[in-house]
Structure 1
Amino acid sequence: MPTSSTVITFGTFDVFHVGHLRVIERAAALGDRLVVGVSADALNVSKKGREPVFSQDERLAIVGALRWVDEVFVEESLELKRDYIVAHGARTLVMGDDWTGKFDEFEDICQVVYLPRTPAISTTAIVEKISTGS
């Protein structure tokens, strides 16, 4: 069992915005160490049906540069979440509340916390706004 209280979270973190910043900051406050899984480019395509605006290497660099983040890694598959939690010794899994209930199966190995999303902001909305010019 790890001596520190490790928190883990996952996301694409494409077109990084204040909503991403807030969830990472709040996740970090729940433990001593924050580990972030950044979705692989291929995983993003399978989840969202489009290539990310920024490559996985760029997104890893952005998220890894944040003062609250202790470690970043590439999340290759949604089906490996349990393995990632165990491998990183996480005691808490944090996800946005748009995922409420979807990760309760991991409560046998860690606490699962769903944080409220920042209202009226999403990468999808930002990309749409940029592409339509409105």
Structure 2
Amino acid sequence: MKKIGYTTGVFDLFHIGHLNVLKRAKLECDYLIVGVTSDELSISAKNKKPVIPFSERMDIVEAIKFVDEVVPQMNYDKEEAWNNLKFDMMFVGDDWKGTDKWNQIEKDFAEKGVEIFYFPYTTHTSSSILREALSKI
């Protein structure tokens, strides 16, 4: 049976950290679905409008060879995502590990047989660092 993986992100100012997460996720599953966060969700959650428009970020992620399918992420409801996509594993940044929210998500998904994998973020490169550097040009 093929293992379906799922991860999400804004993927603004696409960089090596994004690529590494997608590459590592694909090593763990047979089919990787990636949710790309809409501009509206990014603005409401992070108070940041992405530099790269949503449709272009979708195209960029879709072009990555490790990605099998791209879907829009319009909200953070992981249960709704699972109902729509039926993934077997979910990949998340390790900055969420041990938080009340993710402990609960782990428990809820364990009942569905979904495994949560936490990946370390790339500390030397981030979209925030790139955004800051660009603002100084």
TM-score, normalization by structure 1: 0.91
Q: Residue deviations 1:52-109, cap 9 Å, x none?
A: 001110000000011110000110001x211112321210000111221343323332
> What is the one-letter code of the residue matched to 1:36?
V
Counterpart of 1:103 in 2: which secondary structure?
A: helix
Q: Is 1:88 the counterpart of 2:85 in the alignment? A: yes
State whether residues 10 and 36 of structure 1, in contact with CA within 8 Å, keep that contact through their aligned partners in structure 2: yes
Q: Which residue of 1 aligns with 2:58?
A: 60
TM-score, normalization by structure 2: 0.89
Counterpart of 1:51 in 2: which secondary structure?
A: coil
Q: Which runs of 4+ in 1 moved over 2 A?
A: 101-104, 106-109
Q: Which residue of 1 aligns with 2:111?
A: 108
Q: Give 1:119 deviation, angstroms.
A: 2.3
Q: Percent identity?
A: 35
Counterpart of 1:129 in 2: which secondary structure?
A: helix
Query: Aligned Cα RMSD in Å?
Result: 1.2
Structure 1 runs not aligned, ≥5 long: none
Distance 1:107 1:55 in 2: 35
Between the two proteins, the alignment pairs up a number of residues equal to 130
Distance 1:129 1:68 in 2: 28
- Listed as ranges, the matches of 1:1-134 within 5 Å are 3-78=1-76, 80-101=77-98, 102-104=101-103, 105=105, 106-109=109-112, 110-133=114-137
Structure 2 runs not aligned, ≥5 long: none
State whether residues 94 and 112 of structure 1, in contact with CA within 8 Å, keep that contact through their aligned partners in structure 2: yes
